[in-house]
Amino acid sequence: MSYLKLISKFFLISIVALLSIAQSYGQDSDNQVISVGANIGNVPWEFQDTKGQLIGFEIDLVHKIASQLGKEVDIVNIPFSGLFSAVQSNRIDIAISSITITDERLKSVSFAQPYYDSDQSLTIRSDSSVKTVDDLRGKIVAVDTGSTGDIWTSENQQKYGFKEIRRYEGITPAVLDLEIGRTDGYISDIPAMQYYTKDKPNLEVIERIKTGGSYSMMFSKHNELAVEVNEVITSLKRAGYINDLHEKWFGTRAEASTSTAKTTAMPGSKEGVILNFVDTFLNKEVLLTTLPMLMLGLKTTIQLGFISIVLGLILGLALALLRLYAPYVVGFLAKAYIDIFRSIPLLVLLIIIFYALPFVGINLSPFYAAATALVIVSGAYTAEIFRAGIEAIPKGQFEASQALGLSYRHMMIDVVLPQAVKIVIPPLTNNSINVIKDTALASVVAMPDLLKQATQAQAIAANPTPLIAAAGIYLALLLPLVLYVSHLEKKYRLREYA
Amino acid sequence: MKTLIKLESVSKHFGNFRALSNINLQVDEGEVLSVIGPSGSGKSTMIRCINLLEQYDSSGSIIVDNKLVKKGKALREVRANIGMVFQNFNLFPHMTILDNVTLAPMRTGGLSDADAKKRAHALLEEVGILDQADKYPDQLSGGQQQRVAIARALAMEPKAMLFDEPTSALDPEMVGEVLNVIKNLADRGVTMIVVTHEMGFARQVSDKVVFMDSGQIVESGTPSEIFDSAKESRTRDFLKSVLSHEAYTNKR
Ligand SMILES: Nc1ncnc2c1ncn2[C@@H]1O[C@H](COP(=O)(O)OP(=O)(O)OP(=O)(O)O)[C@@H](O)[C@H]1O
Ligand SMILES: [Mg+2]
């Protein structure tokens, strides 16, 4: 108990230290340069042209505002769901990415006045039988993690009977899976999808979903810059500049009643509390509401970790035996397998399995894609562990078994492997810890593991508490294993010297 | 008398190095054969060929109990018929003494758990360590471990026993207890080949002594033919050097 307390205290202190470092960074550059976080690739708001130049509606706008304030702009690429922590920790001064102003978000961040009124939309493959949102009953729906589309889809899952919601980190992977047929519809901001599908005949935006959100720039709570920017936006609207941008990027001028043309007040902050450290990072209310989501993620993480560890062990043992005792060619192939898959980064393998294999007709669900990648790689590592363990068994043990007339099978099962297991348990436990940690990589293929759930929860609540909670859960899961390994290693060392 | 082990023009190469050349040897049922010779002369290699821990060159042949020793299905049966005791004991460290002895009879001898235990008890009693049956190998002295190894080999009721320098790894005060066990086996009529540096022991228990040098059998005969009136000068030189060494150690 006191040990746990100590750990959590240590954890807190580290966060505070990291935070103050982050903060001082943010403030150092505050005077001349405005640091802007954006989810690059979010057309037509912020994306790269063919020359690699950053362009878009909000890129133009933020540059204009900065020049009015006499400052420079530095743009940082951050995934949408990471923008909230980024402003809250002052790693960036402004976040842009067609962020919808919501009451929930206003509790922990600030927004300037809106400059675009939006809705959500449903995008499908042109050849799809889906024609309206109602047709999505029993189907798989794609959204961007923590976006307005995510919030709307989650709230309406029951009503429309969506079978599953897959969460992606941006348009490109989401659309890729829609095209492959892994998902049946993509619910996302309408302007972005209209712009994106302009030159893509295989995709079609078929329905506007009225959520009535408005976009603006996001700041940390009570940031003076938000007020300054808000004033500049007012003057830019009066000068017609923002509507000029609308015409530039959407081809038409916005109606006079929309927030693109009309000045409005700055959205007031909700619940007026000044969020201190604890409210920001260890917010009890946020924790309680998001805990069920985290638990679902934990379940997925444990299932994925368990399956990958067990199958990886079996594969590794088989590979090690083949490598050591199989005829030359098979042994060589086993060695090649082991060497190759210890060299390929897991993330690369995962992306190949998930996004490339469908083109040769192998279409795995996120869970099985992640499990396959983890088993393939873990098998290669455990093979090496088993090989080292078997090779550590003295030759005399094999000879004594053979001289007694034991079969190969009994020699391995009764004599060699029981001795090898003792040697390999500590490194195998280490490997299992790595496998569980690596399950977090599965969030890139839209699998709702613990990390993914935490990311989504923190974007919806605009508060990083779920991420901290996830860190705590990982710790609770893995720390006992880590301690167990140290214990085993100590025990075997003692026995050796005994 | 029946011939149990027969080597006919057996040679063995390790790459280009010729460890055995043209060995001819015969061991009859109940016979005790000692193999002596300088280090590196091929003694271990020769007896390891008999149960195919080393594959001998295809030019020769080894017959055990009327069966050719070669790779394949029949090999396990041949091996079960020949017990082997190693210089370094090679007990299974993760098993108790009792389990070490019962493993092979249960797995390959087809004995039930109870029968294997009964046999193990009798053998452990014979080698004088029944009271240690539940301990693990690393809790025993070297001499005790080697006696367990002998019991383990005997548990398959082999037709012959091979000993490769069974006392070389032992502290001097434990040599006697192991030699005694082997001597009792010899008295009981167990067929065996013993590679040894213990000349007194070889003289006392052997029916036949073989002297090897450079991978060849230089001379063979009864103990007194070899130890008292060797024909070959290489044999006499070897005996002179070990006996003077033994005399020196004994004086100490
Ligand atoms: N696996 C091997 N590979 C190559 N050479 C070997 C191998 N095993 C033995 N030899 C060589 O064969 C020769 C005979 O070795 P062997 O072990 O049979 O000698 P030995 O008479 O038993 O010696 P010692 O009394 O030292 O045990 C030696 O020169 C040795 O170096
Ligand atoms: Mg030897």
What's the CA gap between B50 and B8, in Å, rounded?
Answer: 11
pLDDT at A498: 41
Which chain B residue's Cα is nearest to A410?
Answer: B107
Measured distance CA(B44)–CA(B62) in Å, rounded: 15
**Which residues on adjacent β-strands are paired with residue B162?**
B84, B193
Alpha-carbon distance of A365 to A352, in angstroms, equals 13
**pLDDT at residue A250, rounded to an integer:** 86
* Ligand 1 close to Cβ of residue B43 (< 6 A): yes
Across the interface, whether the CB atoms of A396 and B86 are under 8 A apart is answered: yes
CA–CA dist A439, A295 (Å, integer): 15
Residue B41 in this model has a pLDDT that exceeds 90:
yes
The pairing of beta strand B208-213 with beta strand B216-221: antiparallel
Residue B107 burial (CB count, 10 A): 21
Q: B159-211 pLDDT, tens per residue?
A: 999 999 999 999 989 999 999 999 999 999 999 999 999 999 999 999 999 99
Residue nearest to atom 27 of ligand 1 (CA): B39
Residue A381 token pair: 């590592």
What's the CA gap between A196 and A201, in Å, rounded? Answer: 11
- Which stretch of DSSP H or E encloses residue B118? helix B113-126
Confidence of residue A273 (pLDDT cuts 50, 70, 90): low
Every domain of chain A and the residues it spans:
285-497
Q: How far is the CA of B39 from the centre of ligand 2 (A)?
A: 7
Is residue B14 lining ligand 1, measured as CB closer than 6 Å? yes
Structure token digits, residue A336: 């090649």
Task: For ligand 1, say whether the CB of B41 is within 6 Å of any of its atoms.
Answer: yes
**Cβ atoms of A171 and A41 closer than 8 Å:** yes
CA distance A395 to chain B (A): 9
Sheet holding B3-14, edge to edge: B17-28, B3-14, B61-64, B67-68
Note the pLDDT tens digit of each residue in B198-241.
999 999 999 999 999 999 999 999 999 999 999 999 999 999 98
Whether A414 contacts A334, CB under 8 Å = no
CATH topology of domain A285-497: MetI-like fold (1.10.3720)
Among B49, B90, B139, the strongest candidate for a mutation testing the A interface, having the largest count of A CBs within 10 A, is B90
**Residues 6 or more apart from B123 whose CB is under 8 A from it?**
B101, B151, B154, B155
Q: For A89, how many CA atoms within 13 A lie in the half-sphere containing its CB?
A: 20
Long-range CB pairs of B166-170 (<8 Å, 24+ gap) are B166/B85, B166/B86, B166/B87, B166/B194, B166/B196, B167/B196, B167/B198, B168/B87, B168/B197, B169/B87, B169/B88, B169/B89, B169/B142, B170/B142, B170/B143, B170/B146
Q: Considering only the beta carbons, identify the residue of A405, A415, A418 that sits closest to B108.
A: A405
Per-residue pLDDT tens digits for A64-94: 999 999 999 999 998 888 898 888 888 899 9
CA of A345 to the centre of ligand 1 (A): 46
A400: contact with B, CB 8 A cutoff = yes
Give pLDDT tens digits for B107-138. 988 899 999 999 999 999 999 999 999 999 99
pTM, rounded to two decimals = 0.71
Buried b (16+ CB within 10 A) or exposed e, A277-301: eebbbbbeebbeebeebbeebbebb
Q: Residue A302's CB: how many other CB atoms inside 10 A?
A: 15
CB B88 less than 6 A from any atom of ligand 1: no
Strands A109-111, A203-220: pairing is antiparallel
Give me ligand 1 centre to Cα B59, in Å. 20
- Choose, out of B94, B100, B145, the residue to mutate when testing the contact with A (most A CBs < 10 Å): B94
Chain centroid to Cα A109, Å, comes to 21
User: Which residue is closest to A396 within chain B, CA to CA?
Assistant: B90
Q: Is residue A497 predicted with pLDDT exceeding 50?
A: no
With beta carbons less than 8 A apart as the criterion, state whether B156 and B109 touch.
yes
Residue carrying the six token digits 């590794």: A316
Whether residue B48 has its Cβ less than 6 Å from ligand 1: no
Confidence of residue A29 (pLDDT cuts 50, 70, 90): very low
Residue nearest to atom 26 of ligand 1 (CA): B39
The answer to whether A390 and A368 have CB atoms below 8 angstroms apart is: no
For residue B116, what pLDDT is reported? 95
Q: How far is the CA of B41 from the centre of ligand 1 (A)?
A: 7
CA-B17 nearest atom, ligand 1 = 5
Q: Is B135 helix (H, G, I), strand (E, B) or coil?
A: coil
Atom of ligand 1 nearest to the CA of B54: 1
CB-based contact A406 B108, cutoff 8 Å: yes
Asked if A402 and A411 touch (Cβ cutoff 8 Å), the reply is: yes
